[in-house]
Amino acid sequence: MISLGCDKNRVDTEYMLGNIKGFASLTDDPADAEIIIVNTCAFLEASRKESVDTVLEFNEYRKFGKLEKLVVTGCLPQKFTAEIFDDFTEADVFLGFSDYDLLEDALNEAYTGKRVNYVGRKKRVENRNRVVSTPLHYAYLKIADGCNTHCTYCLIPSIRGKYVSEPIEKLLSEAESLGDISELILVAQDITRYGTDLYGKAELPALINELSALENVKGIRLLYCYPDMIDDGLISVIKNNPKVIKYVDIPLQHADDRILKLMNRPGSGSEYLALINKLKTEIPDIAVRSTFITGFPGEDETAFENLKSFIKKAKLFNAGFFAYSREEGTPAYKMKDQVPASVKKKRLKELYGLQKDISAKNLSVYVGKTVNVTFDEIDYEREVFVGRAYFSAPDIDGKVYFTSDRTVNQGEVYKVKIKSTDAYDLYGSVID
């Protein structure tokens, strides 16, 4: 099975793997697989291309392996099955993101010689048994799906639908089933709106407190918190709950007020800056991460300078930047003043350079100090251990590369004395 796209897609993949274990065996060698599943992303044109290219790549195992059936699941068939089913004959089965429980039925039908399209047969996945694909000491918990915000550049609401929260009791049961984990990472399109559809109000603080009561959960990390929903109650939980990692990801997307309105994003640049300052004041050691889009229609030099000014003032611990992708079917697709690709590329490079300097300064203060590091994996080429401090989430943030004179165990925390840093990573050795 190949999982593309975001960590929310990864969780869907793990549900499918849990389903598959009921009727088939799993292999990590595609040459040995009779069935290959590609769980796709369709958020951007580039991700749709990657999805199609991946299907075509693994279709070659019909010639060189044991491949009998190729299954395409996830966002690409969910949104575009009508356009691609007839011509995309490399795929034998199409399933949407709510149809994973029907995988066995779809495969049985495909083995009668038919091409099968089960997209839209179900409204939600009921089977939440999982095969965790991350290192066993951390896992993602998808607490909701869909989105009600309708940002003008985004296809997610038209792919994933309205915001739907999972009941607290189901999430507690799922989290408990994951076994002992040092880090439970909460994800959704927007975790701060958790419960608004089920309980009539935001219940993320209550959910965090319930999850933190589980003995098997040692730490909780928060990803994708919308700025307009971060209130005093949530800040208090982050500050005072000892199991909550002092890290928050707030996808701001821009900081110029005019561009934010065009994007249909909540809040203003000054409000965002005030929120970040409040978080740093209330929780002095907190690491704030964000993402930004440059090159949105109408982003003139003034708007871009406002974004740069915000980046300089906010001094975020981590940040990611993306060039605006013009997606047909979104309101922004038809907006005037589209920014040329060359300008977007130039601005993207400038933003990354700006944040690189900020990140380097953020990390430089750790030289000579001791940092608690969770050991994730081994880098065999460098012959070093690889881990993360609290201010780094898996895959998206920097790492700590370290050596040790004694045995280290995956998932455990070690005191690492930092000898040097660069713009993104730290380097050191374990101390007694």
- The CATH number of residue 390's host domain is 2.40.50.140
Whether residue 375 sits in one domain with residue 406: yes
Place of tokens 């940002």: 151
Q: Are residues 188 and 246 in the same domain?
A: yes
- Is 123 a member of any domain? no
Burial 211-234 (b: 16+ CB within 10 A, else e): bbebeebbbbbbbbbbbbbbeeeb
The answer to the question of residue 131 being in a domain is no
Report the interhelical angle of 168-177 vs 204-212 (nearest 10°): 30
- pLDDT recorded at residue 124: 74
Q: What is the pLDDT of residue 432?
A: 76
Q: Are residues 269 and 418 in the same domain?
A: no
Domain assignment present for residue 127? The answer is no
Do 343 and 274 fall into the same domain?
A: yes
Tokens 């740069």 — which residue? 308
Percent pLDDT > 70 in the chain is: 100
Would you say the pTM of this structure is higher than 0.75?
yes
Backbone angles phi, psi at 282, to 5 degrees: -70, -35
Q: Once rounded to an integer, what is the mean pLDDT over residues 285-298?
A: 97
Query: Of 342, 361, 380, which one is at a domain's C-terminal end?
Result: 361
* Domains of the chain: total: 3
Domain presence at residue 124: no
Indicate whether 409 belongs to any domain.
yes
CATH number for the domain that contains residue 113: 3.40.50.12160
Q: Are residues 351 and 383 in the same domain?
A: no
413: containing domain: 370-430
- What are the tokens at 339? 């920014």
Question: Rounded mean pLDDT of 105-127?
Answer: 88
Same domain, 142 and 290: yes
pLDDT the model gives residue 349: 97
Average pLDDT, the chain: 95
Q: Are 76 and 156 part of one and the same domain?
A: no
**Would you say 416 and 400 are in contact if contact means Cβ atoms under 8 Å apart?**
yes
pLDDT higher than 90, residue 98:
no
- As a whole number, mean pLDDT of residues 8-33 equals 92
Which CATH number is 292's domain given? 3.80.30.20
Give tens-digit pLDDT for 309-355.
999 999 999 999 999 999 999 999 999 999 999 999 999 999 999 99
pLDDT of residue 33: 96
Instruction: Name which of 81-90, 196-205, 346-355 the model is least confident about.
Output: 81-90
Q: Within 10 A of 34 (CB to CB), how many other CB atoms are there? A: 13
pLDDT digits (tens, 9 = 90+) for 402-420: 999 989 999 999 999 999 9
pLDDT at residue 122, rounded to an integer: 78
Tell me, yes or no, whether 194 lies in a domain.
yes
The Cα-based distances of 274 to 228, 271, 306 in angstroms read 12, 5, 15
